[in-house]
Amino acid sequence: MKTDDGGGSVSSERALNSALHVSEQLGRAVAGQASIDQAVGILISQTGCSGTEGYETLRWLSGAEHKKLTEVARSLIREAVDDGNRYRNRVHRPGANE
């Protein structure tokens, strides 16, 4: 087996680096899918559409805006959070729920 100057196995190091890379990719994929699912949920609650219709709407927006599906989903989530914060700030009464 070929080794590097430090006595460790080069092939083991490559295998580890490859496994770490795959693990990072899977983590990003899971996070992206969670964002997509959350955005679909927002569309369902705001429009009354089905899950399939919400997903198709995201796909359409992705193509229309020339952005990745996860980018569109995260943007929709940010907008929903911002809208929720504006609403909470508008209806907050001093001393209520404190």
**CATH code, domain with 21:** 1.10.10.10
Tell me the pLDDT band of 14, cut-offs 50, 70 and 90. Answer: confident
In a domain, 3, yes or no: no
Count other C-beta atoms under 10 Å from residue 43's C-beta: 22
**Which one of 10-19, 26-35, 47-56 scores highest in mean pLDDT?**
47-56
In a domain, 53, yes or no: yes
Distances (CA, A) of 87 to 62, 79, 93, 94: 27, 12, 12, 15
Residue 88: which residues within 8 A CB-CB, separation 6 or more? none
Higher-pLDDT residue of 75 and 98 is 75
- Domain ranges, residue 25: 10-91
In a domain, 47, yes or no: yes
DSSP letter at 7 equals: S
Domain count for the chain, please give it.
1
